[in-house]
Amino acid sequence: MEERSSQQALNRVFNLLKFTFVIVPIVAGADKFTNLLTHWDQYLNPAIASLLPFPAATFMMIVGVIEIIAGIVVLKNAEIGGYIVAAWLTSIALTLLLGFIYIDVAVRDLVMAISAFSMAKISRIVS
């Protein structure tokens, strides 16, 4: 009985993480086209922005498409999607840390990356 209860609790945690990492990347990705939540290009490391052959806003739209795809991948396959989202969030955090800008956002993204990685690992147990 206790084992079943533990499995149910694990399933609830997994589903919470899964739907978080479906919804958040899709919403954030879509917002790269509207900038309703924030002006996303401000989070781009200036050193990276200076290397781009196009405006930062265009780059952020490309990022938005990638994030939407990542959210869909999580929906279809939480393990693979979780690893993709974890890697993506880690890379974003590292670019912010390297530019020493928005350190609070970088730390938040690293925590979210750990959560996405954990979801990917848990998916092997609950699937």
pLDDT category at 3 given cuts 50, 70, 90 is confident
**What integer pLDDT is reported at residue 76 of this predicted model?**
98
With beta carbons less than 8 A apart as the criterion, state whether 45 and 95 touch: yes
Residue 121: closest CA among 70, 82, 94: 82
Counted domains in the chain: 1
| Average of per-residue pLDDT values in the chain | 95
Q: Counting Cβ atoms within 10 Å, is residue 72 exposed (0-12), middle (13-18) or buried (19+)?
A: middle
C-alpha 81/C-alpha 7 separation (Å) is 22
C-alpha 43/C-alpha 53 separation (Å) is 18
C-alpha 8/C-alpha 110 separation (Å) is 28
Amino acid at 103: I
pLDDT at residue 93 greater than cutoff 70: yes
**What integer pLDDT is reported at residue 1 of this predicted model?**
67
Which domain does 29 fall in, by range? 2-126
